[in-house]
């Protein structure tokens, strides 16, 4: 079982920051899962997301329309 799978399983029992899972999926190149977990991170009100525009970890997502929508939903335009 890989780290992402372990964290997803653990998240059914206790709090796991969705942003961490999103960043794992970004690193794996899985944009679908990354955006799904970023949506959950917004629901969790993860404060680290306020740095999404400056954080180079998110560079691969910036050209995706879902990234623009994500930034809009967080009022960071």
Output the CA torsion 52→41→29→58 (10° steps). 0
- Residue 25: domain span: 18-73
Q: In this structure, is residue 11 part of a structural domain?
A: no
Q: In this structure, is residue 4 part of a structural domain?
A: no
Q: In this structure, is residue 64 part of a structural domain?
A: yes
Q: In this structure, is residue 6 part of a structural domain?
A: no
Q: How many structural domains are present in the chain?
A: 1
Residue 23 to residue 13: CA distance in whole angstroms: 21
pLDDT by residue, tens only, the chain of 77 residues? 587 788 788 778 888 888 889 999 999 999 999 999 999 998 888 778 788 888 999 999 999 999 999 888 887 66
Neighbours of 47 (CB within 10 A): 9
Q: In this structure, is residue 7 part of a structural domain?
A: no
């Amino acid at each position: 079982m890989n780290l992402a799978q372990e964290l997803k399983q653990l998240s059914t029992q206790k709090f796991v920051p969705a942003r961490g899972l999103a960043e794992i999926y970004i690193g794996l190149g899985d944009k679908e899962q990354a955006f799904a977990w970023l949506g959950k991170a917004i629901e969790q009100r993860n404060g680290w997301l306020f740095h999404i525009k400056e954080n180079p970890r998110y560079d691969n997502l910036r050209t995706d329309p879902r990234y623009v929508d994500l930034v809009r939903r967080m009022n960071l335009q």
